[in-house]
Amino acid sequence: MSQITPEVVAAHSITPDEYQRIIAILGREPNLTELGIFSVMWSEHCSYKSSRVHLKKLPTRSKLVVCGPGENAGILNIGPDAEGHNWCIAYKIESHNHPSFIEPFQGAATGVGGILRDIFTMGARPIAVMDALRFGSLDDVENGVRNRHILEGVVSGIAHYGNCFGVPTVGGETVFEPSYAGNPLVNVFALGVFREDQIFYGKAAGIGNPVIYVGAKTGRDGIHGATMASGEFTEDSMQKRPNVQVGDPFMEKLLLEACLEAMQTGAIAGIQDMGAAGLTCSTCEMGSRAGTGIEIDLACVPQRETGMTPYEIMLSESQERMLLVAYKGRENEVLDVFKKWGLDARIVGEVKDDGMMRVKNHGEVVAEIPSRPLADEAPLYNRPFTKPLRNVPMEAPAFASADLNADLLGLAGSMDLCDKRWIWEQYDYTVRTNTVQGPGGDAAIVRVKENGTSIAMSLDGNGRYTFLDPREGAKLMVAECCRNLACVGAQPIGATNNLNFGNPERPEIMAQLVEAIEGMADACTFFETPITGGNVSLYNETLGDPIFPSPVLGIVGLMKTEMPTRISFLNADRAIYLVGGIGAADEVRMGGTQYAKQIVKELWGLPPALDMEFEKRVHTVVRTVVAGGLAESAHDLSDGGLAWGLAESTFGNGIGAEIELDSELRPELLLFHEGPSRVLISTADGAALERIAAEHGVPVLKIGSTAENKLVIRNRGAVLIETPVRALRERWATALEALLHDDVRV
């Protein structure tokens, strides 16, 4: 009697139709190990079966793209060194959302470990990490304690892994919304550098070449982790701790050095990390990419637990493991390197010419599956979609400020806008001495010593905007990332994305995903930032309650290596300009703003309107001014609008501002609307800035000057804001720790 019953199939998240497809591929019924292998490789987490048809809409090519989607990381050419060797960056973003809810510390830590392996498996040395974090509200009466526990665990996990491994965590963003209370988001970006002639790919090339397992021993942790990450959270989700891997950053550091040294021998034909689906994904994907097969014997796999079954070994997601293909006759060169570093390295099989993933256990075949259908021909669903989920009004509630000073102070103490120093001071953001600008700037910057250039990085997303209008929200995200890079003088050259959404089987959720992808595609094409890879994380729901649609984008840019222009005012008596203008009354929208969230405490309407052509001209002006050394400070206006952008510019050096505006907008709208395409610049050479802006047809307004100790904002002579910088900064600097440690909840 077959052990594969309909109940067993369903328990593996395989549909009846998918099961029939498996039978057709094999020409027979699968055994349990084979069913487990299909279940992880055809899971949403590994196969992107609900999103692949739409991901094809994204731009993926440019003259700088060396490697686009399909490999472990995207690669861009960043120019030659003094000897004429081209240097490249490898970069990517990945999610570890579900594991970080179940076990925050290890979930986040192993998310960092996984993305680092994606980078160095290409041959690149990681030099930067960033993270985009989403949590439930810390002052939530019902869930506040749990939300604080998750935040503290996630931050500790990121800090532990990155600090121990020795890679700087140079920036990111942290946002709090009720929709993330049951489903936090942990998206981790990593970037590495290498020479173009030292790139390695995850291909099992060369018939007869030995296949070598290296790194940590295999255990039972992480079994069915990919399947767990492909479903909604239910009442039983907290019982899934065995699906969360356990990381060892010190082991990964050894693995990094050993892999890079082994690559230098010239004895490696291909290499792949064991990420989601572990040994299963590395064997079938390497074979599929090369059009070859791989045969392995599990008896040769180093194991740290006794009695492990073939099913458990193949599905384990134990961390810090890699699979290599060495050139036949040179395997000892590879083995010797890993022995030197004290790591397990065992020949477990060889490359075959039949296109099969064949798994033996002590010589007995326990699984035999064609690699390509398993790795690259998972079911593809063009799921139905209607209109994006939207359950808030279009019309604004009546609101008027009783005290604009109090409103600004309220924003300063809000979870989204307050100082995140408590988080980023736990990270070592200067290790390896490449960090030019770390956390707290509009963009992080690391230098590439080898070719004398620097890489700027921005990570952004706005779930409120995307919820109100997925297409426009995604466009605004791309524009803000590029604007952040312009503020440090960098030219955007490429992007990676993480698409965090709810259950795609719900047409209104699928509509959010489709429209966000299409909006992102339009904007990335326009701003010339091809997407070279990324991650899709679906089923981010708990008990049927979805998160806000939360795409996150990381954009990288090139710039000269020099002292960066910072967001803080540097000197008193400098002219302050608003590049891009105030914003017309008929263009101002408040529904998705921080003011609406924190002060009005409502969500309505549409996100700000974006004119991409105008936005791009603003970038050109700002980049030219900053790169030319004309700006003493530069800061884009986004969350919190003009008043908050001015406030943030006063915090670094205590230099305030005297601002005089001339606008017909209501005070709340004038101060706090979040219209895009606007940048604050302080300068000692206003004439040069005005000349550059005029050349590109971009309006600039001289709105005031820097001053000592206070922030004053007037409109047509009426004082709207008047506050000492110190009081505002004190509220901003202490709010997060107060929320974390105060047990009194409102």
> Rounded to whole angstroms, how far apart are CA atoms 738 and 605?
32
Q: Is 743 annotated as a binding residue?
A: no
- Please indicate if the annotation marks 117 as binding a ligand: yes
Q: Is 275 annotated in some ligand binding site? A: no
Inter-residue contact 215 to 320 (CB < 8 Å)? yes
The backbone torsions φ and ψ at residue 56, rounded to the nearest 5 degrees and listed phi first, read -65, -15
Q: Does the annotation flag 540 for ligand binding?
A: no
Please state the separation of Cα 298 from the chain's center in Å: 35
Q: Is 97 annotated as a binding residue?
A: yes
**Burial state string for 356-389 with b = 16 or more CB within 10 A and e = fewer than 16:** bbbbbbeeeebbbbbbbbbbeebeebebebeebb
92 labeled part of a ligand binding site: yes
Answer yes or no: is 149 a known binding residue.
no
94 annotated as ligand-binding: yes
Q: Which of 100, 163, 179 is nearest to 129 (CA)?
A: 163
What sign results for the dihedral spanned by CA atoms 343, 348, 352, 358?
A: negative
| Residue 82 one-letter amino acid | A
State the Cα–Cα distance between residues 398 and 310, nearest whole angstrom. Answer: 64
Which is nearest to 553 in space by CA: 528, 581, 578, 529?
529
SS3 content of the chain, % helix, strand, coil (to 5): 40, 25, 35
187 is in an annotated binding site: no
Name 442's bridge partners.
none
239 C-beta neighbours (distance < 10 Å), count: 10
Provide the β-strand partners of residue 347.
Answer: 212
| Nearest to 484, CA basis, from 234, 173, 273 | 173
Q: CA-CA distance, 590 to 597, in Å (whole number)?
A: 10
Half-sphere exposure of 329 (CA within 13 A, CB side): 2
- Check 45, 54, 619, 673 and give the catalytic one: 45
The two tokens of residue 235 are 């009442």
Among candidate residues 12, 54, 96, 160, the one labeled active-site is 96
Q: Does the annotation list 319 as a binding residue?
A: yes
Structure tokens at 319: 């961390």
Distances (CA, A) of 472 to 307, 431, 438, 611: 54, 38, 29, 11
Residue 646: closest CA among 690, 604, 580, 706: 706
- Flag whether 273 is marked binding: yes
Q: What are phi and psi of 721, to 5 degrees?
A: -130, 135
- Alpha carbon 645 to its chain centroid, in Å, reads 24
Q: How many helices (H) and strands (E) does the chain have?
A: 25, 28
Q: Is 497 annotated as ligand-binding?
A: yes
Q: Is 428 annotated as a binding residue?
A: no
Note if 96 is an active site residue.
yes
Rounded distance, CA 10 to CA 609, Å? 46
Quote the CA–CA distance of 619 and 580 in Å, as a whole number.
10
The single-letter DSSP state of residue 586 is G
**Is residue 48 annotated as involved in ligand binding?**
yes
3-state secondary structure of 498: strand
Binding residues for substrate are 95-98, 117, 245, 317-319, 537
Binding residues for Mg(2+) are 94, 118, 273, 535
Task: Please identify every residue annotated as catalytic.
Answer: 45, 96
Binding residues for ATP are 48, 92, 497, 534
Binding residues are 48, 92, 94-98, 117-118, 245, 273, 317-319, 497, 534-535, 537
